[in-house]
Amino acid sequence: MEAAWTDFRDIVGKENITVEKSELESHAGSSWSSHPAAPGDVPFCVVKPGNTAEVSAIMKICHERKIPVTAYSGGTSLEGHFAATRGGICVDFSRMDKILQLNAQDLDVVVQPAVGWELLNEELAKSNLFFPPDPGPGAMIGGMVGTGCSGTNAYRYGTMKDWVLSLTVVLADGTVIKTRQRPRKSSAGYDLTRMFVGSEGTLGLVTEATLKVTVKPQHTSVAVCAFNSVRAAADCVFKVVGAGVPIAAIEILDDVQMKCINDAGMTSKTWKNAPTLFFKFAGTPSSVKEQIGQVQTLAKKSGSTSFEFAKSEQEKEDLWQARKEALWSVMAQGQGDDDMSVWTTDVAVPISRLPDIIEETKDEIAKSGLLGSIVGHVGDGNFHSIILYNKKTQHALASHLVHNMVKRAIEMEGTATGEHGVGLVKRDYLPHELGADTVAAMRRLKLAFDPQCLLNCDKIVRVQPPRQGEVEEW
């Protein structure tokens, strides 16, 4: 490693390589990750390349010297994605943060991995364009490609998988490939683009992405609607979807979540402590008005106890703000106690099973004595549980709640993760969800592209079997 250090320094310059302890730790985990950082799980050094050629040169060294590599951009992932469980180096993309080329008429944009989606949208807005995937704040394109993220816009616009046209990728041996040129549609060969999206840095390092963008809708609005039960809210969703109302997003927040938002006092209004649906509408001005009317009628039929829709831009912001504050408001409940932490997990099920799994999960959380809220992208059958727990005394309890929620999702023909990805935390659920042969097929793909297992090894699928007792019983 010492000899490699010299090689890396020659590639990126001394100022772009660090072995400072705090840097190593911040590049291997975060306080909001559900994977408890083990003290040894840090890289040997953090290397900050400035372009694709430097990344390629770094990978050639790592390939020759068999040095493990983790990739780092926004660092907002939740499941231990960038824990350096094998040491090695962390490739930090922070210097590669440019929007390289906006092709407005072609509706695409070429970016480097450390461009944040929020900043990207600020830039795109100047051309009346936007990029729909909206994961957590701070997430960057590199990691968004890695996890195959999504967010509230996925119901209407699809996930990251649908918005990446092409990737420049440095493979495990330093070879640079570009998966496509810039057509919006292609069936020319295997879909390497989508193979890399969601591969969590285990198949290659993304150094450039060509993203689809779209034109901002002519008009948008928001409505918020409370119900007496999660089941009544879900019934409303089925009615709205079934009627073909072309809504842009539907989110559910449960009574616990709404109470946290009220307690936090960060929104301009006070809400009912009840299961609540948040609708986003987009389209031509008159179609938005028509959609709101249709949804209001259907909500009433499902027993809604309130229905408010935005009559101005300000009201629209105010109404959607409660949805945005969900995570912070739960965190706020633990404020003042350094041992309190928040575990955010996500699963997805076929949408008809959503009321069942939410009810069962809420029951179990309530019985556990922990505070846990539910926030869901209900139109996709995808939801998060945000559980507040004491790191020192309640980790096992929180972990067990999460385990049962994931097991429930899998048994309902769902998935261990709808949008957060696998990392270290969800990998042992894959055999239950998909079967051992499917996981073996995934492992075959991994080893075809990274036979030495240098790239974020043992994430997504284990290459080595787990130690006895390491995996929670099914």
Q: Using CB under 8 A, which residues numbered 195 to 214 contact a second copy?
A: 195, 197-199, 203
Stretch that binds a second copy, among 42-50, 63-71, 175-183, 222-230 (CB under 8 A): 175-183
174 Ramachandran zone, left/alpha/beta (phi>0; psi -120 to 50): left
Among 7, 25, 97, 106, binds a second copy (CB under 8 A): 106
Taking CA 143 as the corner, what is the angle to CA 67 and CA 154, rounded to the nearest 5 degrees? 150
* Tally of CA atoms within 13 A in the half-sphere of 206 that contains its CB: 37
Provide the β-strand partners of residue 102.
109
Which residues within the stretch 310-349 sit at the binding site for a second copy (CB under 8 A)? Answer: 348-349
Contact call for residues 195 and 203 (beta carbons, < 8 A):
yes
154 is a contact residue toward a second copy (CB under 8 A):
yes
437 is a contact residue toward a second copy (CB under 8 A):
yes
For residue 266 the two structure tokens come to: 């960060």
362 is a contact residue toward a second copy (CB under 8 A):
no
Name, in order, each residue with C-beta under 8 angstroms of 322's C-beta and a sequence gap of 6 or more.
224, 253, 258, 261, 267, 271, 278
441 is a contact residue toward a second copy (CB under 8 A):
yes
Q: From 207, 195, 191, select the one nearest 71 (Cα to Cα).
A: 207
Among 191, 315, 356, 472, binds a second copy (CB under 8 A): 191
137 is a contact residue toward a second copy (CB under 8 A):
no
For residue 158 the two structure tokens come to: 């699809």
455 is a contact residue toward a second copy (CB under 8 A):
no
Shortest approach of a second copy to residue 419 CB, angstroms? 5
b/e per residue 44-74 (b: at least 16 CB within 10 A): bbbbbbeebebbbbbbbbbbeeebbbbbbbb
Among 188, 311, 335, 468, binds a second copy (CB under 8 A): 188
Among 6, 444, 466, 474, binds a second copy (CB under 8 A): 444
231 is a contact residue toward a second copy (CB under 8 A):
no
Contact call for residues 90 and 96 (beta carbons, < 8 A):
no
Q: How far apart are CA 64 and CA 46, in angstroms?
A: 18
Shortest approach of a second copy to residue 32 CB, angstroms? 18
Residue 31 has a CB neighbour count (10 Å cut-off) of 9
Stretch that binds a second copy, among 41-49, 157-165, 303-311, 312-320 (CB under 8 A): 157-165
Contact call for residues 192 and 181 (beta carbons, < 8 A):
no
Q: From 197, 202, 199, 118, select the one nearest 159 (Cα to Cα).
A: 197
- Site size for a second copy (CB under 8 A): 100
283 is a contact residue toward a second copy (CB under 8 A):
yes
Q: How far apart are CA 142 and CA 164, in angstroms?
A: 11
Among 14, 21, 184, 311, binds a second copy (CB under 8 A): 184
Among 60, 161, 272, 407, binds a second copy (CB under 8 A): 161
Residue 226 has a CB neighbour count (10 Å cut-off) of 22
461 is a contact residue toward a second copy (CB under 8 A):
yes
Q: In 138-284, which residue ranges form alpha helices assigned H by DSSP?
A: 141-147, 154-157, 192-196, 230-242, 255-264
Among 119, 241, 266, 471, binds a second copy (CB under 8 A): 241
380 is a contact residue toward a second copy (CB under 8 A):
yes
Stretch that binds a second copy, among 53-61, 302-310, 362-370, 445-453 (CB under 8 A): 445-453
Among 37, 99, 171, 397, binds a second copy (CB under 8 A): 171
Shortest approach of a second copy to residue 394 CB, angstroms? 26
Which residues within the stretch 5-64 sit at the binding site for a second copy (CB under 8 A)? Answer: none
Shortest approach of a second copy to residue 114 CB, angstroms? 21
Q: In 40-136, which residue ranges form alpha helices assigned H by DSSP?
A: 52-65, 117-125
Stretch that binds a second copy, among 17-25, 62-70, 147-155, 355-363 (CB under 8 A): 147-155
150 is a contact residue toward a second copy (CB under 8 A):
yes
Contact call for residues 257 and 330 (beta carbons, < 8 A):
yes
358 is a contact residue toward a second copy (CB under 8 A):
no
Nearer to a second copy, 90 or 203 (CB): 203
419 is a contact residue toward a second copy (CB under 8 A):
yes
Residue 285 has a CB neighbour count (10 Å cut-off) of 10
Contact call for residues 108 and 165 (beta carbons, < 8 A):
yes
Among 37, 99, 176, 370, binds a second copy (CB under 8 A): 176
Nearer to a second copy, 46 or 282 (CB): 282
Q: Are strands 371-377 and 249-253 parallel, antiparallel or unpaired?
A: antiparallel
Among 5, 238, 307, 328, binds a second copy (CB under 8 A): 238
Nearer to a second copy, 262 or 287 (CB): 287
Stretch that binds a second copy, among 49-57, 117-125, 289-297, 303-311 (CB under 8 A): 289-297
